Structure 1
Amino acid sequence: MTTSDDIRLGGLLWEIDDAAGIVLLRTPYDARRHTETGRSWAGRGYHCLIQDVRGRYLSSGEWDPYQHETIDGAEVIAQLRAHFPGLPLIAFGASYAAHAALEGAYGAMRHEQSAPDGIIVLVPALGLAETAWNPDGAPQIEHRIAWWHEHGIGPRSRKPLPPDELATRVRRTEQIGVISAAREWSWPAAVFERWERLWTATHLSVRTRYAELISPLLVVTGAHDFFDADARRLAASWPSDSHLVTGPWGHRLAADLTDPHTREQLDNSGGIGGIIDGWLRTHTPFAARLGRLEPARYVSAFDPDSGSWQQSRTAA
C-alpha cells in the first residue's frame, strides 16, 4: 500500500474463500515473524493483513515510535475497505500493535471514514507516557532502556542488550537521570530527541480521545503485565461495549505460565483463543447495540484454582 505522502507500507496478506471479514494487524516487529497469527486468523475464516508500520522492515519511511499510526492506520483501513467492499474489519494487535490498532481506528473515525467493526487488543501499550511510567508514577527505566535499544533505532530490531550492560545502564540512569545517561549511549540525534519526548509525553485520556468510537472492544490483559492498569482503564472507559480478559500471566500472556498444570488447565479451557472465538460469536463486533443507552461491560478471568474461566458483567 502507498500512503498519501508516498510511503510504501509492506506486509503479508492471507486471503481465503467466503471470508467472514478481514483482520488488520500493524506491527513494528516484522510482519514475516507473525505468520502463525496470519494462518490462525485465516483458519478462523478471515482475510488477514499483517503489515509493518512506517520505517520498519518491509515498509519505507522513517521509524518514529508512536507518531504515525493514527494517519497511516486510517489510510490502510480505507484502502482495505475499498479492496474488500462490504466485509467487516477487525483491528487487532498486541503491545505496540495494540496502539496501532486503536490509533488507526481513531484516525478512521476522525477522518470521517468507517472505523473498524471491532477492535481486539492484547496487553496494550497505549502511548508513550503509558510505556514510560507505572501507574504509581515510578519510571519504567529497565523496560524502556531495553526496548529502545532493541526496537527504537532504525528499520530493524537489534540484538537485546546483554544483562550486565542493561544493569549498568539502569544504575547509571538512576544516578544521573534518564536524559543525561542516554547521552552516553551513542544514540543518533533523532533517537535521543525521541527518548526525551518519551519522558515528557502526556498520558492518554481514553475517555476523551476515543469518545466517539462505537467499535466494540475486546481487551486481553494479565495480572502481572506492566500495562495491566492501562488495559483495565481502557476497557472501563471505552464508550461502546467492552470485554476484559485477564489471568495470572504477564506481557507474554500464556507463554508466561511456567507451571505445567496451570498451562494444561488453560489449554483445556480453550485458552485465550477460545475467548476470542467466543467474543466473535456471541459479542459479535458486527451487531448493533440494539438501542441500549449504556455500553455493556464484561469480564472473563481465568481462575487457576478451578482451571476455568469466570465470566461476569460489570456496571458500565
Structure 2
Amino acid sequence: MTPMQPREHVCRMRDGTELRGQFWECAAPAGLVVIRTPYDARQHAATARSWSARGYHCLIQDVRGRYRSGGDWTAYQHEEDDGGQVLTQLGREHPGLPIVLFGASYAAHAALEAARGAAHVGSVTVAAVIVLVPALGLAETAWDSSGTPQIRHRIGWWHEHGRTRCAQNPLSAAELARRTAEADDAGVVDAAKNWGWTPHALAQWRRLWQAERIDLAARYDLGIPLLVISGDDDFFDNDARRLARTWTAASHFVTGPWGHRLAGDIADPELRSRFRAAGGLGGIIEAWLSAHDLSGTAAGWTEVLRDAPHTRSTLDPADGAWRHERTAP
C-alpha cells in the first residue's frame, strides 16, 4: 500500500508573507488539527498520520521565517497574529470542522497564541487546545521557577534554532561549556558578542534576557478546554502546571516520570512496557477528546472531568498505572 502523502498548503498573510505547510487529509474528517512549528513541518509526518488515523485532517505548518515559510524568523514574536490569520483561512476552507490546536515545546506556544489570535479576530472558533512540555515564552525559557538563569540550555537552543531559517548543528559539549563559562564571566549578553552572531541575533538574545513573565490567566482567558502534558523531569514543568492551574476554562494536566522527550525519556524497559499497556499518552489524548465531544475513543476515567474545572492524570512509576483525580496540578 502506498503511504499517505500530504499536499502543499499555503497561507498568505496580510503583509504578503506566505506561510507554507503540509496538509494531511483523511476520508471523512471529524475535525482539523493544526500544528505550527519552527522545527520543520516535513519532519512531523508520523504525527500527522496519527491524527489522520484518528479521523482528523492535519496541517503542519512552518512558522514565519523558518524552513519553507517566508518572512524573517523572530522567536516569540509573530505567533498570535500569524496564527489567527491562518485559522481564519482554514475556517473558510473547511467550514464546520472543529479545530484542535496541538503543539509541543515552542509549538505549544504557537498553539496558545493562535487560539488567542483567533479569539481576537472572532471569525473562527477553536474547539480545544493540546500542549505538550510547553515552552511558553521568552522569560519562561530563560529562567527557572526559582529565578535561576538557564544559561547553558538557552545558549544551546539559540545557537541551534533561534537565529537562522534552518536548524544549525548543535554545539559540541566542549564549546557549549566554553560559552557558558564565558557568559558566567562576562555576562550573558556581552559574551554573545564573541560568538559570531548577527546584529539581529544579538538583539533578540538581549530581548530574551530582558523579557518579563507572562500573566497566563490574563493572556489566555479564552474559554476553550485545555489539555496540558508535562513531565516530572521537564525543565518547563512548573510553567506547565501554572498554565493548567490558572486556565480560566476546564483544564486537564498529565504528568509522569519523564522529561522533555516525554515517553522517549523512559529508560526502564519494564516501565516503558507498562506505560504502553496503560495506553500511553495517546490513550489519554483520545479519551480527553471524546470527553469534549470530539473524535476520540471514550474511556471510563473521564468521569473525573465532569463538573470539575481542573483535573489531573499521573502515571505511577511503581505499577505503570494512571491515577486520575479531580484536583489542580
- Coarse TM-score class (shorter-chain normalised): over 0.9
Residue 256 of structure 1: aligned partner: 265
- CA distance in 2 between counterparts of 1:31 and 1:76 reads 15
- Paired residue for 2:249, among 240, 256, 276? 240
Q: How many Å apart are 1:270 and its aligned residue? A: 0.6
8 Å CA contact 2:112, 2:129 repeated in 1: yes
1:101 aligns with 2:114: no
Residue 239 of structure 2: aligned partner: 230
Question: For 1:25-45, what per-residue CA distance to the aligned partner results, in whole angstroms no more than 9, with x for missing partners?
Answer: 000000000000000100111
Percent identical residues: 52
1:112 aligns with 2:139: no
- Paired residue for 2:178, among 168, 175, 178? 168
- Counterpart of 1:166 in structure 2: which amino acid? L
- CA distance in 2 between counterparts of 1:173 and 1:115 reads 45
1:269 aligns with 2:278: yes
- CA distance in 2 between counterparts of 1:43 and 1:142 reads 39
- CA distance in 2 between counterparts of 1:119 and 1:181 reads 38
- Paired residue for 1:43, among 21, 34, 53? 53
Q: How many Å apart are 1:95 and its aligned residue? A: 0.3
> 1:147-186 maps to which residues of 2 (within 5 A)?
147-186=157-196
8 Å CA contact 1:15, 1:48 repeated in 2: yes
- Counterpart of 1:253 in structure 2: which amino acid? L
> 1:70-219 maps to which residues of 2 (within 5 A)?
70-211=80-221, 213-219=222-228
Q: How many Å apart are 1:295 and its aligned residue? A: 6.0
Q: How many Å apart are 1:283 and its aligned residue? A: 3.6
For 1:10, what is the secondary structure of its paired residue?
Answer: strand
- CA distance in 1 between counterparts of 2:94 and 2:13 reads 18
For 2:126, what is the secondary structure of its paired residue?
Answer: coil
| TM value normalised by structure 2 | 0.92
Residue 314 of structure 1: aligned partner: 327
- Counterpart of 2:260 in structure 1: which amino acid? H
Residue 290 of structure 1: aligned partner: none
Residue 280 of structure 1: aligned partner: 289
- CA distance in 2 between counterparts of 1:73 and 1:5 reads 14
- Counterpart of 1:116 in structure 2: which amino acid? V
- CA distance in 2 between counterparts of 1:115 and 1:192 reads 38
In structure 2, relative to structure 1, the CA distance for the partners of 1:4 and 1:309 (3 Å cut) is same
Question: For 1:81-108, what per-residue CA distance to the aligned partner results, in whole angstroms no more than 9, with x for missing partners?
Answer: 1110001000000000000000010011
Residue 58 of structure 1: aligned partner: 68
- Counterpart of 1:62 in structure 2: which amino acid? D
- Counterpart of 1:296 in structure 2: which amino acid? P
- Counterpart of 1:61 in structure 2: which amino acid? G
Question: For 1:104-150, what per-residue CA distance to the aligned partner results, in whole angstroms no more than 9, with x for missing partners?
Answer: 10011122233411000000011111000000000011110000000
8 Å CA contact 1:216, 1:285 repeated in 2: no
Question: Where in structure 2 are there 5+ consecutive unaligned residues?
Answer: 1-10, 296-306
8 Å CA contact 2:308, 2:326 repeated in 1: no
8 Å CA contact 1:145, 1:166 repeated in 2: yes
Q: How many Å apart are 1:154 and its aligned residue? A: 1.4
Structure 1 runs of 4+ off > 3 angstroms? Answer: 283-286
1:3 aligns with 2:13: yes
| TM value normalised by structure 1 | 0.95
- Aligned length, in residue pairs: 308
- CA distance in 2 between counterparts of 1:233 and 1:284 reads 26
Q: How many Å apart are 1:315 and its aligned residue? A: 5.8
Q: How many Å apart are 1:307 and its aligned residue? A: 1.1
For 1:173, what is the secondary structure of its paired residue?
Answer: helix
Q: How many Å apart are 1:281 and its aligned residue? A: 1.1
Question: Where in structure 1 are there 5+ consecutive unaligned residues?
Answer: 287-293
Q: How many Å apart are 1:298 and its aligned residue? A: 1.1
